[in-house]
Structure 1
Amino acid sequence: MNAPLPRLTSADAAGDKRLRICFPFSGDSIGGSHISVRGLMEHLDPALYRPIIVTEVPGGMIANFFARHEQLDDPAAHGLFVPGEAFTLRKFGRTLAGLLPRARFLRRNRIDIVHVNDGRSSANWALAARMAGAKLVWHHRGDPGALGLRLLAPALASRVLAVSSFALPHKGLWSARDRASVVHSPFDTSLEVDRAKARDALIRELGVSPDTLLLGYFGAFVPRKRPLLFVDMIARLKGLSGRPVMGLMFGEARLPVMDVALRRRTAEKGVGDQVKLMGYRTPGPFWIAACDQLVVPAVGEPFGRTLVEAMLVGTPIVAARSGGNIEALEGGLGILVEPDDAEALARACEGLGDTRPMALAAQADARSRFSEAAHATKVSAIYEALRPCAKEQ
């Protein structure tokens, strides 16, 4: 791996005429937004743009993930949000305390655009960006009913990017909808995995018969993604399928209470031998390719990465008819069933016949719609629309 680029200084910022774009990240865990931003940065024209990552934890997971890219430390990292922490006056106070240091930081480094990619980063940096005179690109990857998107984005965002039509701000008198665009998340569309070899490796690891139906759940074990519903579906399949079934759950619980609930549900349904917790694994596309089907029971999911990765590697998909799932699988590229219906999911998984035509169509569609180059082109056009008419000398 190449060494990190030198950190930005006030002096070299003043002599650099490229558009300077700051990507601040809160916390120190890696998710889809980090993968998307890294793909974007690697496709931006270096003659026009100077992207800079800002991290709360020097030398942490996020800093290492972007090790080949220019980085600066958050000047107010003491105000970081804690995942799962309730919104309190104390939490609000920590955010306010970081406003002036962050605004000074942006002015000192002559940042033109602050591009935020998650709710915590938006809360920490949105007002600071506007105080510093920088443009704010609010990249929304969550529920359209999110508090920040509804209340703060209309006042502070120069542009809103939504990962799907579902994630767009709702229309209304107080809304950022008129400044919003749909920009699908980027993917490495050159991705190729030998599914037969991947499946053989998984069969050997599990020690099951080759005729076993391997159904994969991929993602964090959080309520929105419906991990308990996946377990219920496997229990239904025990009585439907004429072949052995394994439900493979790739991911981890973010809170201990979900881990306890998942293990309890598995025991209650009597599927301890059919449901296996696989943990977080990388590269994800290899394990998706190893499964016979990807099952996406999530409700209100703006736009799932694993769903598109399944399309790219040719794994058939059964998903809830909800959120961004509908947009990704439009035109019969997967099987959509009613949300929160374990029986419907089970019957769809069992009833899939020859999936090759559907999988090939989904693969071709994903390669045309979700490339990193296409994503960078759309985002660059937005940056250009926000470019100052004349740079300060």
Structure 2
Amino acid sequence: MRAMIWTDSDCFSGTERHCLELSQGLEAIGVSTMVGSRKGSPLVTRAEHAGLRCVCLDAASAPFGAVREVARLLKMKKVDIIHAHNGVTTFLACLAAGRAGRGKVVATQHFIRPARQGRRGLARVFSEQVHRWVRSRVGHWIAISGAVASAMEARGDAAFGDIRIVMNGVAAPLEGEPASSEARQWIGFSPGVPLVLCPARLEPEKGHDVLLEALAVLRRETVDFQAVFMGGGSLHQTLERRIAVLGLGECVRLVGYQSRPDVWMRASDMVVLPSAEEPFGLVLPEAMSRGLPVVAAAAGGPLEIVTPGSGVLFRPGDAADLASRLRELIGSAPLRNRLGSGAAARWESHFNLERMAGEVASVYVEAGVRG
């Protein structure tokens, strides 16, 4: 069985991390895997560094060239299945399979609201027509959570029987990751004060404003904590100003994109994902794999990830409720330890990489690809 994992992106966020780890997981269980993305993209760079085969395809600026190359790989039987991870690559994969006269297309939906829903007028009409054509040619659809699958069914993106829910899995932490105390020294934070980490892009949908309001409540109550917002994005300056207005400058830092997120997780006491509508929330199992308790809004993917024994949920958009949950965790090391142990156990049983890769390979077989 030979698969191409294809997405078109010049960033490295949740979808790209998923593609990289899925490729590694498939290779580990005997599925020959090739990664397709833009030349010089972070995904291709990291995939090559990991020893994965790559093919450079620019779906945005050279779509016809990408179709020709993928069709060539299919005809030469170097690839049996194209596993596409965004709308553009799914469309082009269907064209390539048609041109080659062989090969199957499987598509993963990573979002509750895909980009085409934001289009208007003729662009929206054209997008919907293209999607109907694509729907008739995709072998199976994968949704990364039940929330995504429900949204797909409600939109009529695919018949429910054609959707397979495969929750994301993440690899085990590397053995060389630093211990918590060492990581604290590396990043320059006080060792005795609980550290709250929010690893999310600084964009409106991620809910940083709600988290800041909750932290301001704790600050007024003189709760002792440190907080880090890790990630880049368009709201950096806006959030800096809000931190100053709320008087949080001494206890909240924006540290931007970090090439070693594992160090920041190891240094932290808990991870918070305040998004009100998160399709999955990959940072949650990443934190859980390191034995960290997680805090997330009770909506979307996190509802399927976080259990009472592995973390806590708060009402979406409710800063007071979030403050209450954080107050409990910050004030009780035994509670953090208990939930952290439960988080690690839940990652091991539900969100490990081997489980995800095996379920994806099963979808390939259902779509008609044999090993």
- Regarding TM over 0.5, the answer is yes
Distance 1:130 1:179, change over 3 A: farther
Deviation at 1:252, TM superposition (A): 0.5
Q: Which amino acid aligns with 1:197?
A: S
Q: Which residue of 1 aligns with 2:348?
A: 367
Q: How does 1:1-393 map to 2 (within 5 A)?
A: 19-44=1-26, 49-57=31-39, 59-67=40-48, 68-74=51-57, 77=58, 80=60, 101=68, 104-110=71-77, 111-133=79-101, 134-143=103-112, 147=116, 151-152=131-132, 154-168=135-149, 169-171=152-154, 175-189=158-172, 195-198=179-182, 200-201=184-185, 205-206=188-189, 208=190, 210-243=191-224, 245-253=225-233, 255=234, 258-352=235-329, 353=332, 354-387=335-368
Q: Are the equivalent residues in 2 in contact too, given 1:41–1:51 (CA < 8 A)?
A: yes
CA distance in 1, matches of 2:20, 2:70: 24
| 1:47 to partner: Cα distance | 9.6
Change (3 A) 1:47 1:62: closer
1:374/1:231 Cα in 2 relative to 1: closer, same or farther (>3 Å)? same
SS in 2 for 1:346: helix
Q: Deviations for 1:314-361, whole angstroms, at most 9, x for unmatched residues?
A: 222221111111111134321111011112111211122322222111
Shift of 1:173: 5.8
Q: Is the 8 A contact 2:205 2:276 kept in 1?
A: yes
| SS of residue paired to 1:27 | coil
Q: Is the 8 A contact 1:289 1:314 kept in 2?
A: no
SS at match of 1:38: helix
**SS of structure 2 residue aligned to 1:166:** helix
Q: Which residue of 2 aligns with 1:3?
A: none
How well do the aligned residues superpose, as a CA RMSD in angstroms?
3.0
Contact 1:106–1:129 (8 Å) recurs in 2? no
With over 3 angstroms needed to count, the CA separation of the structure-2 counterparts of 1:137 and 1:196, relative to structure 1, is: same
Letter in 1 for 2:83: H
Conserved 8 A contact 1:144-1:170:
no
Bigger proportion of residues as helix:
2
- Aligned-pair CA distance for 1:297: 0.4
In structure 2, what residue type is equivalent to 1:117? H
Q: Report how far residue 229 of structure 1 moved.
A: 2.2
CA shift, 1:102, in A, is 5.6
> How far apart are 1:211 and its partner, in Å?
3.8
CA distance in 2, matches of 1:377, 1:118: 21
**How many Å separate the matches in 1 of 2:183 and 2:74?**
53
Name the CA distance, whole Å, in 2 between partners of 1:157 and 1:246: 47
Corresponding letter in the other structure for 2:226: M
Q: Secondary structure at the match of 1:161?
A: strand
Please identify the structure whose Cα radius of gyration is greater.
1
- Determine if contact 1:189/1:366 at 8 Å carries over to the other structure: no
Q: Matched residues in 2 for 1:200 and 1:103: separation?
A: 46
- What is the CA-CA distance between 1:381 and the residue it aligns to? 1.4
Q: Which residue of 1 is the match for residue 120 of structure 2?
A: none
Secondary structure of the corresponding residue to residue 361 of structure 1: helix
How far apart, in 1, do the equivalents of 2:290 and 2:25 lie?
A: 22
Query: Residue type matched to 1:64 in 2?
Result: T
Closer, same or farther in 2 for the Cα pair 1:343/1:191, shift >3 Å?
A: farther
Count of residue correspondences: 348
Q: CA deviation at 1:283?
A: 2.9
2:351 partner amino acid:
F
Flag the 1:127–1:73 CA change in 2: closer, same or farther, 3 A: same
Which structure 1 segments of 5+ residues have no match?
A: 1-18, 82-93
Task: Rate the CA distance shift 1:213–1:357 in 2: closer, same or farther, 3 A.
Answer: closer
The residue matched to 2:164 in structure 1 has which SS? strand
Greater relative CO (CA pairs within 8 A, separation 6+): 2
Q: CA deviation at 1:265?
A: 1.7
Contact 2:108 2:141 in 1 (8 A): yes
Contact 1:249 1:279 in 2 (8 A): yes
Q: 1:98 to 1:200 in 2, by over 3 A?
A: closer
Contact map agreement 2:5 2:23 (CA 8 A) in 1: no
Q: Which amino acid aligns with 2:33?
A: P
Please give the alpha-carbon distance, in whole angstroms, between the structure 2 residues aligned to 1:276 and 1:52: 39
Instruction: Please report how far the alpha carbon of residue 171 of structure 1 lies from its aligned counterpart in structure 2 after TM superposition.
Output: 4.5
Q: Compute the displacement of 1:226 (Å).
A: 1.2
SS of the residue corresponding to residue 313 of structure 1 reads coil
Residue 112 of structure 1, CA deviation: 2.2
For residue 107 of structure 2, what is the amino acid of its counterpart? Answer: W
Residue 197 of structure 1, CA deviation: 1.6
How much does 1:307 deviate? 0.9
